[in-house]
Amino acid sequence: MLNRIIDLNSANRILDLERRSKNVTIEGDFEGSVTGFWVRLGGMGEGIVSYNNKQYVTKPIGFVSIPAGTEVELSFANGIYYSKF
């Protein structure tokens, strides 16, 4: 299992480097910031936020425990979704 995760991570890293070298712009599902709803914190520390009936994997900004359903700010920048509460 660990070897598979390492291989997957390496493949994703190569794709990211190729995309950056070609100056490809990664588009998000929205522009700017929107209000989403906190779902949960994943096992790897990633945030899960619901917006427009879709769940987004985010990098949470902040270290506060909040209950599911709490409004959070969902933003997109440089190919990464961020959640802030």
- The confidence score (pLDDT) of residue 71 equals 95
How many other C-beta atoms lie within 10 A of the C-beta of residue 83? Answer: 25
- The confidence score (pLDDT) of residue 24 equals 61
C-beta separation of 37 from 69 below 8 A = yes
Contacts of 78 (CB under 8 A, 6+ apart): 26
Tell me which residue range forms the domain holding 18: 2-84
Number of domains the chain contains: 1
pLDDT in tens, the chain (85 residues): 788 888 888 888 888 777 777 766 677 888 889 999 999 998 888 999 999 999 999 999 987 788 999 999 999 987 889 999 8
Q: HEC states along 18-74?
A: HHHHCCCCCCCCCCCEEEEEEEEECCCCCEEEEECCEEEEEEEECCCCCCCCCEEEE
- The confidence score (pLDDT) of residue 36 equals 96
Instruction: Give the whole-angstrom CA distance, residue 61 versus residue 83.
Output: 6
Query: Which CATH number characterizes residue 62's domain?
Result: 2.40.50
- The confidence score (pLDDT) of residue 7 equals 82
